[in-house]
């Protein structure tokens, strides 16, 4: 692919990238509730594993600034953000009707918990700071593992997600890039991001997901509308898909996307609930198989934003995102885990690439015939795109604050 002026500088070996890592030291303190599957603590576990593998000194580490109301209302409605800012667990029962309007509750998928607004400001700020660094050209790859909450809608929460940091980050990237590609490898369809950009050709959304589970969207026939027709790509898969089957779909489709769309920046949502052993997901991907998606997109040498997402078996989420950070850095990691604050979580193997528990391996319900048919349909739709769209930039709005570098975080 001819990347023109968008080719990235790299090391003498042609492989090294300048990587920034955005981490709020308070992120692991937020708590959805005892019985809730979403645990922000997994971000702290990931960070401690990165530290133990000595990966932090190989990146620029930033404390992201908190997203402001002005930032959040670039996509979300004023009344929704105002309510998020003011609601507390004590108030939630008295304001149950208002909570229902915004899909919030005292329990359920999107509970009101202590520090909810600060949590949203933190993870959204991390994604905005990451996008701002890419816009400045001060890095080739930016990472915010606390981001990637792809279900949130403009006026309500959805599926454990309150603020759609991905949409906000893409809007930031669009200030400097004509075309942004969004790729989603979470087990769930990236509905909130697709919906936000469904009628524009400046963002192409590509989602590989399990069909017939929450949010029950992402049909292969949903391809965008108006100016965005053929710029939404959905690859619905059955449970139990393996690394081999997944890459049989992922690589040819992404290769074609890169050829026809020629994005100037790429956002990859790395939801780890597509791994085998996940508490909610039902795919059979290994950490290496999941990381192969990162490796493949990295190979195109286009500015890349890596975000987190789903993932509900904490030890595997931390393993996965640590490994994918190493992929971004082109660093090899020892399979034996180093001592770290959460070492006991990783038993009984205490390895980076632990085999899935036998009883958690799902039957692969993806036939080769079905996969061929899905791939053929998607590639045919992509062939309908005659050329990459362009846009004439007028005066650009001001850039987001890229956050404060924390040189001492890894000392």
Tell me if residue 113 falls in helix, strand or coil: coil
312 is known to lie in a ligand binding site: yes
**Residue 3 domain-assigned (yes or no):** no
159 is known to lie in a ligand binding site: yes
d(CA 399, CA 253): 32
pLDDT given at position 8 = 45
47 is known to lie in a ligand binding site: no
d(CA 344, CA 1): 45
**Residue 406 domain-assigned (yes or no):** no
Q: Is 176 annotated in the active site?
A: no
Overall size of the chain counted in residues = 411
pLDDT given at position 399 = 74
**Residue 6 domain-assigned (yes or no):** no
What are 198's two structure tokens?
Answer: 């469904």
Domain interval for residue 40? 14-390
**Residue 117 domain-assigned (yes or no):** yes
**Residue 8 domain-assigned (yes or no):** no
**Residue 216 domain-assigned (yes or no):** yes
Q: Are 399 and 175 in contact (CB under 8 A)?
A: yes
**Residue 383 domain-assigned (yes or no):** yes
186 is known to lie in a ligand binding site: yes
d(CA 167, CA 73): 11
104 contacts: CB under 8 Å, gap ≥ 6: 83, 87, 92, 110, 111, 112, 157
Provide the domain count of the chain.
1
pTM over 0.85: yes
- Average pLDDT for runs of 10 along the chain of length 411: 40 71 98 97 99 98 97 99 97 94 94 98 98 97 99 99 99 98 99 99 98 98 97 98 98 98 98 96 97 98 98 98 98 98 97 83 94 98 83 63 58 37
pLDDT given at position 9 = 42
pLDDT given at position 12 = 37
Q: Are 373 and 248 in contact (CB under 8 A)?
A: no
109 is known to lie in a ligand binding site: yes
**Residue 397 domain-assigned (yes or no):** no
**CATH code at position 22:** 3.40.800.20
188 is known to lie in a ligand binding site: yes
Q: Please report where in the chains the tokens 């001592």 appear, as a residue.
A: 339
d(CA 381, CA 191): 19
Catalytic position from the list 47, 76, 150, 151 = 151
């Amino acid at each position: 692919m001819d990347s023109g002026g968008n080719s990235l500088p790299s090391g003498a070996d042609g492989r090294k990238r300048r990587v920034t890592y955005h981490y709020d030291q308070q992120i692991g303190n937020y708590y959805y509730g005892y019985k809730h599957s979403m645990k922000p603590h997994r971000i702290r576990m990931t960070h401690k594993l990165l530290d133990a593998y000595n990966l932090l000194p190989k990146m620029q580490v930033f404390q992201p600034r908190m997203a402001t109301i002005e930032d959040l209302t670039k996509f979300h409605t004023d009344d929704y953000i105002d309510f998020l800012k003011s609601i507390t667990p004590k108030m939630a029962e008295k304001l149950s009707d208002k909570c229902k309007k915004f899909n919030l509750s005292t329990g359920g998928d999107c509970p009101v918990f202590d520090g909810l607004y600060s949590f949203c400001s933190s993870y959204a700020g991390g994604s905005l700071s990451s996008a701002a660094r890419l816009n400045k050209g001060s890095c080739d790859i930016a990472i915010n593992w606390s981001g990637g909450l792809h279900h949130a809608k403009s006026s309500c929460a959805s599926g454990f997600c309150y603020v759609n940091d991905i949409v906000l980050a893409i809007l930031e990237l669009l200030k400097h890039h004509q075309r942004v590609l969004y790729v989603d490898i979470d087990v769930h369809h990236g509905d909130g991001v697709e919906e936000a950009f469904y009628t524009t050709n400046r963002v192409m959304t590509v989602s590989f997901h399990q069909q017939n589970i929450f949010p029950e969207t992402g049909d292969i026939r949903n391809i965008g509308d108006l100016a965005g027709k053929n710029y939404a790509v959905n690859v619905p898969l059955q449970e139990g898909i393996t690394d081999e089957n997944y890459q049989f779909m992922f690589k040819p489709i992404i290769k074609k996307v890169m050829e026809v769309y020629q994005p100037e920046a790429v956002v990859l949502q790395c939801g780890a609930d597509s791994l085998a052993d996940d508490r909610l997901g039902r795919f059979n991907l290994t950490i290496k198989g999941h990381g192969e998606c990162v490796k493949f997109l990295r190979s195109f040498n286009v500015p890349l934003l890596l975000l987190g997402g789903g993932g509900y078996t904490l030890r595997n989420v931390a393993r996965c995102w640590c490994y994918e950070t190493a992929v971004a850095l082109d660093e090899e990691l020892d399979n034996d885990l180093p001592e770290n604050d959460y070492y006991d979580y990783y038993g009984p193997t205490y390895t980076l690439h632990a085999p899935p528990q036998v009883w958690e391996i799902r039957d692969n319900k993806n036939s080769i015939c079905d996969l061929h048919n899905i791939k053929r349909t998607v590639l045919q739709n992509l062939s309908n795109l005659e050329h990459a769209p362009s846009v004439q930039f007028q005066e650009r709005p001001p850039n987001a604050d890229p956050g404060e570098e924390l040189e001492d975080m890894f000392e």
